[in-house]
């Protein structure tokens, strides 16, 4: 037994660590031969809703890569089922909603989240994992905007025009929808923390499509309320979105102990403008891992150097691991981050 590795939790709290903690969004997934093998027998939702399978998949990257945190294997769509939404996860497409939201009665029909339906298995997986893991377990949920975008578009989207049209044309309905989603997301995150998740990540993956003006007017209020609801929890919360360079400060105002950065921003500028009273997570471009090792190494060291060895940096990619990623590159990257961020070396490099 090596004992419990808590450098990820320390970094969330901006406490000094022996070296920079690292984990990867989508670290359990299609880039792994073992995962693809399992997917031949079980669907994504089957794996997510079967505690033993969920735990097995969640543990794979922890054992293979040596990352400093585990993230529960699931999908942001999962809590929508118990709210009365019927959807499928289509291979190479993503979530597809049976009856997208088009009018007020579609919003009224959404039920408040019942934890007793579908989700007990998720909470059971968390309890199982806590017995196995020697690194912290991250629970997560989709943010209200990102979930609303799937409910309104009916599936993945590039421009989110239906979502924006509903927001501008029917602001009352929009706010009602976000309010309902906020209630359910808060309830689900609290339940995950109570079941044993030691940190939580809120994925507002698609909120980067909004202007700062629209974020302020249509989203920020709900995010503030979400984080206020979670204040009582001990678990630190990571607040992440993609393409959010312009929104980072508004996201920080809304809440979160750690702000997730995508690869479009530079670590040093983004952290400086957020202020060092926030921890940050990121932000290597996941596509860099498709390049040769010398490029991966150069870009990863740039991230570390820009973070400057300051407490409160969690190394991650700027978004999820791509299916084409060679597993060995990830393993080597974890080793690199650990080796090259030990407090002594960072110090030496700067002097």
- What are the residue numbers of the active site? 26, 30, 39, 75, 150
Task: Indicate whether 28 belongs to the interface with ligand CP3 (CB under 6 A).
Answer: yes
What are 70's strand-pairing partners? 137
Cβ proximity to ligand CP3, 137 vs 346, nearer residue: 137
Tell which one of 19, 60, 70, 71 touches ligand CP3 (CB under 6 A): 71
In the window 142-181, what residues touch ligand CP3 (CB under 6 A)?
A: 146, 156
Tell which one of 5, 20, 182, 205 touches ligand CP3 (CB under 6 A): 205
Surface-to-core class of residue 101, CB atoms within 10 Å of its CB (0-12 exposed, 13-18 middle, 19+ buried):
buried
Of 131, 139, 129, which is closest to residue 59 (Cα–Cα)? 129
Task: Indicate whether 290 belongs to the interface with ligand CP3 (CB under 6 A).
Answer: no
CB 144 within 8 A of CB 167: no
Considering the complex, what minimum distance in angstroms separates the CB of residue 48 from ligand CP3? 8
Residue 82, token pair as written in the block: 């118990």
DSSP state of 314: E
Q: Which residue sits closest to ligand CP3, CB atoms considered?
A: 29
Cβ proximity to ligand CP3, 95 vs 196, nearer residue: 95
Task: Indicate whether 25 belongs to the interface with ligand CP3 (CB under 6 A).
Answer: yes
CB neighbours (10 Å) of residue 44? 19
Task: Indicate whether 76 belongs to the interface with ligand CP3 (CB under 6 A).
Answer: yes
| First and final C-alpha spacing in the chain | 37
Q: How far apart are CA 330 and CA 215, in angstroms?
A: 34
Considering the complex, what minimum distance in angstroms separates the CB of residue 131 from ligand CP3? 21
Site string for ligand CP3, 91-110 (x = CB under 6 A): -x-xx---------------
What are 316's strand-pairing partners? 283
Task: Indicate whether 85 belongs to the interface with ligand CP3 (CB under 6 A).
Answer: no
Q: How far apart are CA 279 and CA 238, in angstroms?
A: 9
Measured in whole angstroms, the distance separating CA 121 from the mean position of its chain's CA atoms is: 20
Kindly list the residues in this chain that would bind ligand CP3 in the complex (CB under 6 A): 25-26, 28-30, 44, 71, 73-76, 89, 92, 94-95, 140, 146, 156, 203, 205, 320, 323
């Amino acid at each position: 037994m090596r004992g419990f590795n808590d450098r990820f939790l320390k970094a969330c709290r901006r406490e000094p660590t022996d070296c920079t903690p690292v984990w990867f969004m989508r670290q359990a997934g299609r880039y792994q031969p073992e995962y693809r093998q399992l997917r031949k027998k079980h669907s994504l939702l089957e794996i997510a809703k079967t505690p033993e399978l969920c735990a097995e998949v969640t543990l794979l990257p922890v054992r293979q890569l040596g990352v400093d945190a585990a993230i529960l294997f699931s999908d942001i769509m999962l809590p929508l089922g118990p709210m009365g939404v019927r959807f499928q996860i289509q291979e190479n497409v993503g979530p597809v909603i049976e009856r997208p939201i088009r009018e007020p009665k579609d919003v009224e029909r959404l039920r408040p989240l019942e934890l007793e339906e579908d989700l007990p298995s998720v909470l059971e997986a968390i309890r199982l994992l806590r017995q196995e893991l020697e690194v912290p377990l991250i629970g997560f949920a989709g943010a209200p905007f990102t979930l609303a975008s799937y409910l309104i578009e009916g599936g993945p989207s590039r421009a989110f025009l239906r979502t924006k049209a509903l927001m501008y044309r029917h602001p009352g309905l929009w706010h009602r929808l976000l309010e309902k989603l906020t209630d359910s997301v808060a309830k689900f995150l609290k339940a995950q923390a109570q079941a044993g998740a030691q940190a939580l990540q809120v994925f507002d993956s698609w909120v980067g499509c909004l202007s700062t003006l629209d974020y302020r007017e249509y989203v920020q209020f709900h995010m503030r309320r979400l984080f206020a609801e979670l204040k009582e929890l001990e678990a630190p919360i990571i607040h992440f979105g993609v393409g959010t360079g312009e929104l980072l400060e508004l996201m920080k105002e809304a809440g979160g102990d750690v702000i997730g950065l995508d690869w479009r921003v530079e670590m040093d500028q983004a952290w400086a403008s957020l202020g060092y009273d926030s921890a940050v997570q990121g932000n290597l471009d996941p596509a860099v891992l498709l390049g040769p090792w010398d490029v991966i190494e150069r870009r990863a060291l740039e991230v570390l150097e820009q973070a400057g060895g300051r407490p409160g940096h969690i190394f991650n990619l700027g978004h999820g691991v791509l299916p084409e990623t060679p597993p060995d590159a990830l393993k080597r990257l974890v080793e690199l981050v650990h080796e090259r961020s030990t407090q002594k070396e960072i110090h030496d490099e700067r002097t």
